[in-house]
Amino acid sequence: MKTDGKFRHDSLQTRKTVKALLEALTKGIGKGELVLSDEDGEIALEPDGLLNLRIRAERADGSNRVDLRITWNDESRPVESKNAPKIG
Q: Give the Å distances, CA to CA, from 17 to 11, 28, 64.
A: 11, 16, 18
Residues 6+ apart with CB under 8 A from 60: none
pLDDT digits (tens, 9 = 90+) for 51-84: 999 999 999 999 999 999 999 999 766 556 677 7
In this model, does residue 17 exceed pLDDT 60? yes
pLDDT digits (tens, 9 = 90+) for 75-86: 766 556 677 778
Query: Alpha-carbon distance 28 to 53, whole Å?
Result: 16
- Which SS3 state, helix, strand or coil, does residue 37 take? strand
Every domain of the chain and the residues it spans: 15-71
pLDDT digits (tens, 9 = 90+) for 32-48: 999 999 999 999 999 99
